[in-house]
Structure 1
Amino acid sequence: MGIMNFSKKPAEPSPLTNNPPESSASDTEPPKDDTDFQAVPAGTEEKGNIFDQGGKNYRTLGRWDTVLILFTNQLGLGILSLPSTIKTLGIVPGIIAILGIGALSWYAAYELLQFYRKHPNVVSIVEMTRIVGGAWFESFAGFVMMIQVVFIVASATVTLSVALNTLSSHATCTVIWILVACIACYLLSIPRTMKFVSKAGIPNAVSVVAACLIVLISLAVSGPATAPEGWHKEIKVVGNPTFRDGLNACLRVVFSYAGTFTFPSYMAEMRDPAKDFRFALAVLEIVSTLFYIAMAVALYCLAGDLTTSPVLSAASSIPAKVAYGVILPAVVATALSIGHTGCKYVYVTAMRQMRATHQVTDNSIKSWVTWILSVTGFWVLIFVISNVIPIFDSILSITAATTIPWFTYGFAAIFWLHLNKGLYFSTWQKGLLTVGNVVMIALTLFMNAGGLWAAITELLDLFANNKDGIGGVFSCGDNSIF
């Protein structure tokens, strides 16, 4: 079967274009049949965005480069909280939650690819929102996306501070460890292409798998670190959580699939996204979902009611320290891949304001100064946020409640409805998809309201009880696992 492409393609922009694509009549005109796009010869490349114009060509990601960068994006921090999700929900509901949320994320990512195929001159999910809702929608989406990026990367730096405190037996103030983590990630963010980020894919995967196996073996041999004498683990096939705990558990699964919003940015730097992205996406979703289920269930079955989040803390002292040391590359890779997307958005926006998008890929003084300032400002903000909310689970839950639902599900559904305007019930299949996408938007709104309440009340309880050794913002309190 040939590679699929839209029957109507917008004109390619001039290299001097300084604004993202505006919607036009041709963009919203319904196709003449019930398909979103039609077959074209295999190997057709889609061109026309600012990353292959002006200076150096940034569109260098091949099929396996994309697989690696997607793994770097998704297979990292998320797995550390999933065993506690199984503990809260029980084995069967937990597996159903991971499978269901994973499948929904896969479908939403495919909808983003459909929209990108129709508008291949966009370079981020934020520019997609301009096509649908105009400049005001783009500004709102850009602001919300940066909130999401900042919180995800902040959770990575908090995890790095936990690891460094654990490895050093709290040798210095936690604020200093967060600063060290931010400086290291800042230096790795200086290269400007996604191709560089993809190089972290293999170390990231090896790091995550090795750390989980270390904890798995430790739990199998000696049990959880906090297990009392004569302890017998309690395994729940079906849990009985409160509404707040159950919702927070599901939000942590949502967080583990939170990388969807970066996918259009990766498509924009691929040589042939039409041919390669669907393959890379399938590999990512199948492998990551199976890995999530296998590790989450296995670790929970070994730690039982003493399962912790992050799960590495469940192991005894020496294996836990080894695991935290081994997982450092994966946590850095997560911060790098998500952070790079945020920095690139700020950079492109700044260059657009200077009417210099034709210089985005140049090695000029203007482009490099703008890039360095964008990266510097981003990591200064990360340092502040990491010290304001220095608790791993609460950052995950707040982020998953406020922004991730829109960028993982809500916006994808809106894009699909925009593409299929006038054809919502033209066939029974379209009707089902229309209802499904409306339900995705409703689910997004529910996650916003209920999820934010659950996450904030949990955070306030943690501060009140000082459960994690954190006394407040910018605290030197010991957040290590021992």
Structure 2
Amino acid sequence: MKFLNLKGEKEPREPVYDDQNEKEKGSTREEDASVARDAVLVDDGEQAANIFSEGGKNYRTMGRWDTALVLASNQVGLGILSLPKILDVLGIVPAVITIIGLGVVSWYTAYELLQFYRKHPHVVNMADMARVIGGVPFEVVFGICLLIKICFTCGSATITISIALNTISNHGLCTVGFAGIAAIACWLLCLPRKFKFVAQVGLPSTISIIAAVLIVIISLGMSPPKNAPPGFEKTLKIVGDPSFTDGVNAVLKVCYAYAGNVGFVSYMAEMKNPSKDFVPALTVLQVFSVVLYLITAVVIYCLSGQYTTSPALGSAPTIPAKIAYGIVLPAILSTGLVFGHTAIKYLYVVAMRAMKSTHQLTDRSVKSWGTWIVCATLFWTVSFVIANAIPIFDSILSIASATFIAWFTFGISGVFWYHRNWQEKFHRKNIPLAIVNALLIAQALFMNGVGLWAAIRQLVDIFNDKENKIGGVFPCGDNSLF
């Protein structure tokens, strides 16, 4: 990759910094407005330099289809299991509009991440991007939020696996024990260090979740939902009438289904040619996601009506639901793998930079492997604790959306756009996008405030419900739907 300014002159390549003081000086240079406005990425077949293309082994090996599979593993997972219930809350028409609309918005925000990456190809994660626009303090805050957000996502994967194991085994073990098994399994999967490995599980993961959904749909076509009484009359809502709290939580769950943006920059950093291949891979992902989400949500809801559950697999009769949970386990484990790998790699890069050993990042040395394993262990320990502190599937999705997905999928892309276009934000051609990105930032702030209030209120109500089997944190009670 080469940088040319608009006069055709070659711009210097963005450096990789190991020394803290030198990097801060570099951050000042990066913020030079003329470079930010004039730099244009030109694809000449050469990789832009970053720390994953140096050292003992080149990690930049992913092509277009590898990336599409990683993106699918990253996004199509837990979120889809909550969507059918959303139709019972919002109604079919508002829910379909929400799913399609947020899908389009998340495509745009991911595209903005690529635009920022093109200007600064030395970055390897979103925290690096934060440093470009706000220096070390912003990087630290952003990095902490990134880790907490991914811990929530991996915690939700842990909860879902515990639900699956409780359902399959008829609560054969304390729920905390099942959560521990899930965390250990995901920890083992995260030990390989390259995203190329993650790409290899993408296809089996996608097949498993589609197969599980098909089992539920077929079983509901032949038998009534599990919780439906004999001779039940199905009620479908074209337009729902939810309370404010329920409506906000429903939209938050749709946002969770598009929570993949947090890892996109890390995948760009291990692509052979992200400028050329990322947009096609992203487009494949979003079209596939929206179509799959709509089919799953609408069909399961139309078959289950008011007896639709979340996760949706519990809507099926007992035996098909157990089979579906068994088949969907690879997809849930894949969610833990792909998000966990993103967080662990961030911790790994931070640790190696702190030890001034970025030249050993891709080595197979005791130091590099030991650092990776320690980072993986710390991350999955924290994720396990979060999973047991918020052991309700719907609640952990809503809280994660309100706190961090609000920014990582939506708001931060608006901030990046303003950073790239600050000098020309009121130029006639930029005004529409300036408005769009201002609305993205406003959406994130709304989700932070009102969304978090609604999510916490829902969690408290569930804990106070006497019929709820999960009475508090670190539960041994049965969290299955039967």
**Coarse TM-score class (shorter-chain normalised):** over 0.9
2:200 aligned partner: 199
1:304 aligned partner: 305
Q: How far is 1:32 from its partner?
A: 9.9
1:29 aligned partner: 33
> What whole-Å deviation, never above 9, does each CA across 1:104-127 have from its counterpart, x for those lacking one?
110000000000000000000110
Q: How far is 1:17 from its partner?
A: 5.9
Give the match's secondary structure for 2:362. Answer: coil
Give the direction of change, closer, same or farther, for the CA distance of 1:463–1:32 in structure 2 (3 Å limit). closer
Q: Distance in 2 between matches of 1:237 and 1:451?
A: 24
2:161 aligned partner: 160
**TM value normalised by structure 2:** 0.95
> What whole-Å deviation, never above 9, does each CA across 1:88-118 have from its counterpart, x for those lacking one?
1111100110111111110000000000000
Give the direction of change, closer, same or farther, for the CA distance of 1:363–1:436 in structure 2 (3 Å limit). same
Q: Distance in 1 between matches of 2:318 and 2:370?
A: 45
Q: Distance in 2 between matches of 1:164 and 1:313?
A: 13
Q: Distance in 2 between matches of 1:399 and 1:384?
A: 15
Q: How far is 1:13 from its partner?
A: 2.4
- How many pairs align? 476
Give the direction of change, closer, same or farther, for the CA distance of 1:161–1:435 in structure 2 (3 Å limit). same
Give the direction of change, closer, same or farther, for the CA distance of 1:466–1:196 in structure 2 (3 Å limit). farther
Letter of the 1:307 partner, please give it.
T
Q: Distance in 2 between matches of 1:5 and 1:275?
A: 15
Q: Distance in 1 between matches of 2:330 and 2:371?
A: 28
1:419 aligned partner: 420
Checking the alignment, whether the CA contact within 8 Å between 1:61 and 1:195 is kept in structure 2 is yes
Q: How far is 1:29 from its partner?
A: 1.7
Q: How far is 1:28 from its partner?
A: 3.6
Give the match's secondary structure for 2:439. Answer: helix
Q: Distance in 1 between matches of 2:59 and 2:468?
A: 43
Q: How far is 1:401 from its partner?
A: 0.3
Q: Distance in 2 between matches of 1:395 and 1:421?
A: 36
2:343 aligned partner: 342
Checking the alignment, whether the CA contact within 8 Å between 2:313 and 2:325 is kept in structure 1 is yes
1:174 aligned partner: 175
Give the match's secondary structure for 2:324. Answer: helix
> What whole-Å deviation, never above 9, does each CA across 1:299-357 have from its counterpart, x for those lacking one?
11110111110000010000000000000000000010001001111111111111111
Q: Distance in 1 between matches of 2:412 and 2:4?
A: 20
1:81 aligned partner: 82
Residues 86-105 of structure 1 aligned to structure 2 (within 5 Å): 86-105=87-106
Letter of the 1:40 partner, please give it.
V
1:52 aligned partner: 53
Q: Distance in 2 between matches of 1:434 and 1:174?
A: 48
Q: Distance in 1 between matches of 2:56 and 2:297?
A: 46
Give the direction of change, closer, same or farther, for the CA distance of 1:392–1:147 in structure 2 (3 Å limit). same
Residues 399-438 of structure 1 aligned to structure 2 (within 5 Å): 399-427=400-428, 429-438=429-438
Q: CA RMSD in A?
A: 1.9
1:13 aligned partner: 15
> What whole-Å deviation, never above 9, does each CA across 1:60-108 have from its counterpart, x for those lacking one?
1111100000000001111100011111111110011011111111000
Give the direction of change, closer, same or farther, for the CA distance of 1:366–1:473 in structure 2 (3 Å limit). same
Letter of the 2:435 partner, please give it.
V
1:217 and 2:218 aligned: yes
Q: Distance in 2 between matches of 1:193 and 1:363?
A: 12
Q: How far is 1:39 from its partner?
A: 6.8
Checking the alignment, whether the CA contact within 8 Å between 2:36 and 2:119 is kept in structure 1 is no
Q: Distance in 2 between matches of 1:247 and 1:471?
A: 24
Q: Distance in 1 between matches of 2:217 and 2:30?
A: 55
Give the direction of change, closer, same or farther, for the CA distance of 1:196–1:458 in structure 2 (3 Å limit). same
Give the direction of change, closer, same or farther, for the CA distance of 1:64–1:32 in structure 2 (3 Å limit). closer
**TM value normalised by structure 1:** 0.95
> What whole-Å deviation, never above 9, does each CA across 1:402-457 have from its counterpart, x for those lacking one?
01111111111111110112111222x30110111111101110010011000001
Q: Distance in 1 between matches of 2:462 and 2:36?
A: 56
Q: Distance in 1 between matches of 2:40 and 2:346?
A: 31
1:71 aligned partner: 72
Checking the alignment, whether the CA contact within 8 Å between 2:54 and 2:362 is kept in structure 1 is yes
Identity of aligned residues (%): 52
Q: Distance in 2 between matches of 1:478 and 1:168?
A: 11
Checking the alignment, whether the CA contact within 8 Å between 1:360 and 1:367 is kept in structure 2 is yes
Letter of the 2:169 partner, please give it.
S
Q: Distance in 1 between matches of 2:353 and 2:458?
A: 41
Give the direction of change, closer, same or farther, for the CA distance of 1:439–1:15 in structure 2 (3 Å limit). closer
2:449 aligned partner: 449
Q: Distance in 2 between matches of 1:399 and 1:9?
A: 40
Q: Distance in 2 between matches of 1:104 and 1:32?
A: 24
Q: Distance in 2 between matches of 1:95 and 1:355?
A: 50
Give the direction of change, closer, same or farther, for the CA distance of 1:395–1:20 in structure 2 (3 Å limit). farther
Q: Distance in 1 between matches of 2:430 and 2:34?
A: 13
Q: Distance in 2 between matches of 1:384 and 1:106?
A: 32
Q: Distance in 2 between matches of 1:30 and 1:407?
A: 27
